[in-house]
Amino acid sequence: MGLFEKPKSIWSILNSRPITFYTSSFPLEKVGSSFFHGERFTSRPLTGEGAMASHTFLSLLLFYFYTFHLVHPIHCSVGSNAFDTTSAPQEEFSEELLLKPLPDYKVLAHFHFTSTSPPSSSNGQHHHLFPKSIAQLVKKYKIRELELSFTQGRWNYDRWGASDPLSTANGKPPGVELWALFDIPTKEEIDATWRNLTHSLSGLFCASINFLESSTSYSAPLWGFLPNNGDLRYGALPREAVCTENITPWLKLLPCRDKAGIASLLDRPSIYRGHYHSQRLKLRSDGLNGIVIEQTLSVVLQPIDRTSWSMHQLFKKSLMGKCALAKSSKVFLEIERSLVSQNENILELVGEADMVTNDQRDHSTIYQYNVERYSEHEALDIRVNWKKLLQVSFLQTPLHASRFLMGSGNERGSIAISLQSARNSTKGLYDNSKNCFTRVVIFQVVPWYVKVYYHTLRIYVDGAIRDAKDVVEKINVTPSEDKVSPGTLEMMLQFPCGMMSAALTLDFDKGFLHIDEYPPDANQGFDIPSALVSFPDFISRRIYPDSISSPLLQSYKGRNIVKSYTEVLLVPLTTPDFSMPYNVITFTCTVLALYFGSMVNVLRRRVSEEERLAKSKDKRKPGLIPLLISKISNKVRGIKEDSANQSQSSQPILGPKVVFKVVLIALIAVLGHYFFNSS
């Protein structure tokens, strides 16, 4: 397991990527020497001029390669090493930033970094741009697909949009969410691998992802989250904190870290001040394309001045050129069509874009800025001015989902999921104009201590209770098992098109935990992870002309199902007074002591014997010795009393003498003490 340590120092970063541009001397030397290692070794036994000649030849060669590397650092170090044939696929890295004004005058900044590594057979275990730690992870755990997200805040589906590709991809549940698809045949092996994976990721990303290790915290959904053959594992930690320590290792996976390029904009206080913050790592691996990792960071920021903002104001940093190792480095500004009304432009852009395009269905306009045109002398700073404030909202999901708790007390309650039809969603925009049913898939995982009774499922459509058979098309329930596994609910529902609202309720009992299982802040309550509500009939995609080559916009083209996460639920459980165990211990001890005391008494005490002894004592006369002792004791008492009387009476006579003696001794003592101390 020791393979996967997080890349803590710059040296480990350098070691993992031998050729980097901005730290040229050390890694280049390394490459050069390793290349000639074999020849050098063979030249050692040579003597005299031959050795000299071979050495000069070698050093010349080395010099040649050094200069070659230094003069054309980008051309030969980007991608694969210089000795490769050009036809082989190479490692690539691209960085992008998409800025999008939101209707409530906030700004969404979406950072997108893509690294690709060709199938491992082509260049073995060596990587130039691709993070080695991730490649090792994929290889070791046979991961086909993995997504890890760290989120703080909740994506506001009402205002920030719900059915465009960016929101579908951006909306993530608060805390940590991790899911992975494995290329492993048996269930047991997958579980074991998952456990190791969580530990590795926990070390890699400075987070407590290892809490997903226990079988009570992860589940294996079959189709509710993502259709699969049982090789998917899903886990969420709703209360995981997200802060600088998580982004530090995440940035270290980038070839330029945050020293150059778009990532240099990431000023920690600015990005963590945002209303929503989601940092993700998504990786796909297959034999054809090798490994592709997408690192994205979405932040929703509130500009200080609502009507006018610029990149510099948002991030408090300037974008001064691209990361030299990036194949492409672009900044996009996406303006939703709904923000720009037909007759007048309420937005004004300052700065000239390199390219302006609309998507195929004219939902949005993209302004493209190529970062390589900018430098330290001329930083890229996109400025947007709002001419008029307008209340608009972006495309909504067909049904707006929210989840809440019902009931009171610490014994039982119920979970309700409510689905409200979004009035402004226009059906014609979507793919399902012919179908008169809206399909909804609900996936939720509930920890075992919330014991859900799935038979109590009630479904209301437009306020009237409906038979579950009429609405539920498909259902898969994995009931929870105490302290072993969580309860998983996957449910596909079919609602009529004209429906305005629907609600589902499920009753539950609250369980009791063992005293050791309570977290330190148990009084705060326990979190139930977000449920996922997806709409398989609705696809979010945006197609842009092929003239823009961008991994970010390419990902928009995919057929992404519209989905939204619900709120995290906070369930207060009965929390014991944690001093109770001590009370119990003291009580138990008292009872035990009493019990054993009386037991010993009963067993050891011989009543008849004692009675006999007592009788014989009465019979016997007091012996000589006891008599003597009593006499002496009486005498002593008498003398004592006498002496006490004497001293009391003689005190006034002896008083001054005694006092004098005491004072004298005290004086001598003090003097002696002083003398000894001073000497």
Partner 1 sequence: MASDPMGSQLRRILSIFFSLSIILPLSSPSPTMHNNNWAVLVCTSRFWFNYRHMANTLSLYRTVKRLGIPDERIILMLADDMACNARNNYPAQVFNNENHQLNLYGDNVEVDYRGYEVTVENFLRVLTGRHEASVPRSKHLLSDEGSHILLYMTGHGGNEFLKFQDTEELQSHDLADAVKQMKEKNRFKELLIMVDTCQAATLFSQLQSPGVVTIGSSMKGENSYSHHLDPDVGVSVVDRFTFYTLAFFERLDMYSNASLNSLFTSYDPTLLMSTAYYRTDLYERPLNMVPVTNFFGSVMKTIPTDSAYPGFLVAHASEYAAISAETETARVVLEDEADHSKTYDQSEKGLQHTLDEWLKLLEGKLGVKDPEVLVAYGLGSMVLLLTISTWLSS
Q: Which parts of this chain interact with partner 1 (CB under 8 A)?
A: 1-2, 4-6, 8-9, 12, 152, 195-196, 199-200, 202-204, 206-208, 210-211, 213, 240-245, 248-249, 258, 268-269, 271-273, 518-521, 578
* Choice between 409 and 520, CB closer to partner 1: 520
Judge whether 562 and 540 are in contact, CB under 8 Å.
yes
* Choice between 202 and 566, CB closer to partner 1: 202
Give which of 353, 411, 383 is closest to 107, Cα–Cα. Answer: 383
The token pair at 432 is 């399902």
Query: Minimum distance from CB of 153 to partner 1 (Å)?
Result: 10
Element (H, E) at 476: strand 472-478
Query: Minimum distance from CB of 92 to partner 1 (Å)?
Result: 27
* Choice between 251 and 552, CB closer to partner 1: 251
Cβ neighbours around 280 below 10 Å, total: 20
Residue 404's alpha-carbon distances to 52, 80, 528, 531, 568, in angstroms, are 82, 53, 11, 11, 9
* Choice between 453 and 518, CB closer to partner 1: 518
1 three-state secondary structure:
coil
Query: Minimum distance from CB of 390 to partner 1 (Å)?
Result: 30
* DSSP conformation class of 248: H
* Choice between 70 and 192, CB closer to partner 1: 192
Question: Rounded to whole angstroms, how far apart are CA atoms 493 and 471?
Answer: 6
Query: Minimum distance from CB of 23 to partner 1 (Å)?
Result: 17
* Choice between 196 and 328, CB closer to partner 1: 196
The token pair at 105 is 């005058």
* Choice between 290 and 486, CB closer to partner 1: 486
* Choice between 213 and 336, CB closer to partner 1: 213
* Choice between 129 and 207, CB closer to partner 1: 207
Query: Minimum distance from CB of 523 to partner 1 (Å)?
Result: 11
Query: Minimum distance from CB of 133 to partner 1 (Å)?
Result: 10
Burial class (CB within 10 angstroms; exposed 0-12, middle 13-18, buried 19+) of 313: middle
Question: Rounded to whole angstroms, how far apart are CA atoms 518 and 675?
Answer: 66
Give which of 344, 358, 429, 349 is closest to 390, Cα–Cα. Answer: 344
Query: Minimum distance from CB of 36 to partner 1 (Å)?
Result: 23
* Choice between 268 and 606, CB closer to partner 1: 268
624 three-state secondary structure:
helix
Query: Minimum distance from CB of 435 to partner 1 (Å)?
Result: 43
* Choice between 582 and 674, CB closer to partner 1: 582
Question: Rounded to whole angstroms, how far apart are CA atoms 375 and 265?
Answer: 14
Give which of 416, 321, 334 is closest to 101, Cα–Cα. Answer: 334
Residue with tokens 């639920």: 569
Q: What angle do CA 461, 463, 466 make, to 5 degrees?
A: 45
Question: Rounded to whole angstroms, how far apart are CA atoms 146 and 120?
Answer: 18
Query: Minimum distance from CB of 181 to partner 1 (Å)?
Result: 20
Residue with tokens 């809206």: 438
Query: Minimum distance from CB of 527 to partner 1 (Å)?
Result: 12
Cβ neighbours around 425 below 10 Å, total: 17
Question: Rounded to whole angstroms, how far apart are CA atoms 219 and 490?
Answer: 11
* Choice between 2 and 463, CB closer to partner 1: 2
Question: Rounded to whole angstroms, how far apart are CA atoms 536 and 459?
Answer: 20
Give which of 364, 338, 367 is closest to 541, Cα–Cα. Answer: 364
Query: Minimum distance from CB of 304 to partner 1 (Å)?
Result: 15
Query: Minimum distance from CB of 2 to partner 1 (Å)?
Result: 5
Q: Which residues does 168 contact at the CB level (< 8 Å), separation at least 6?
A: 162, 540, 560, 561, 562, 563
Query: Minimum distance from CB of 55 to partner 1 (Å)?
Result: 23
* Choice between 151 and 438, CB closer to partner 1: 151
Query: Minimum distance from CB of 449 to partner 1 (Å)?
Result: 16
Question: Rounded to whole angstroms, how far apart are CA atoms 218 and 446?
Answer: 10
CA 24 to chain centre: 34
* Choice between 194 and 538, CB closer to partner 1: 194
Q: Which residues does 30 contact at the CB level (< 8 Å), separation at least 6?
A: 18
Question: Rounded to whole angstroms, how far apart are CA atoms 77 and 93?
Answer: 12
Element (H, E) at 145: strand 143-152
